[in-house]
Amino acid sequence: DTEVTQTPKHLVMGMTNKKSLKCEQHMGHRAMYWYKQKAKKPPELMFVYSYEKLSINESVPSRFSPECPNSSLLNLHLHALQPEDSALYLCASSQTSEGAYEQYFGPGTRLTVT
């Protein structure tokens, strides 16, 4: 199984809402990632988790709060977002965060902030 799943596929939320994005993999990978992709732009790294610990935060605003409850699961908690946060949020995983391992991406959650 080389699949990374993400739920929900689509999410519409108001600026005062709290919501969460979920990502799951069962490949035994110990590194997981969140990326943000605006329309017609390349993906941009947000966070890297290695062995369930946050190892990289690319200066992401605190209204985005990642969580890695176990090695298979990655969440992104959203609170007080702005309309400019509307984007495709991609999750990825790799065997470890170091070394020449490829990343496997999920299909993404398309988020619209109203």
Partner 1 sequence: DAKTTQPPSMDCAEGRAANLPCNHSTISGNEYVYWYRQIHSQGPQYIIHGLKNNETNEMASLIITEDRKSSTLILPHATLRDTAVYYCIVRVVQGAQKLVFGQGTRLTINP
Contact 90, 42 (CB under 8 A): no
For partner 1, the binding residues in 84-103 under the rule CB under 8 A are: 88, 90, 92, 94, 97-103
- Confirm or reject binding of residue 68 to partner 1 (CB under 8 A): no
Q: How far is the CB of 5 from partner 1 (least distance, A)?
A: 11
Helix%, strand%, coil% for the chain, nearest 5: 5, 55, 40
Q: How far is the CB of 28 from partner 1 (least distance, A)?
A: 16
62: Cα separation from own chain's centroid: 14
- Using CB under 8 A, pick the residue from 11, 21, 48, 74 that binds partner 1: 48
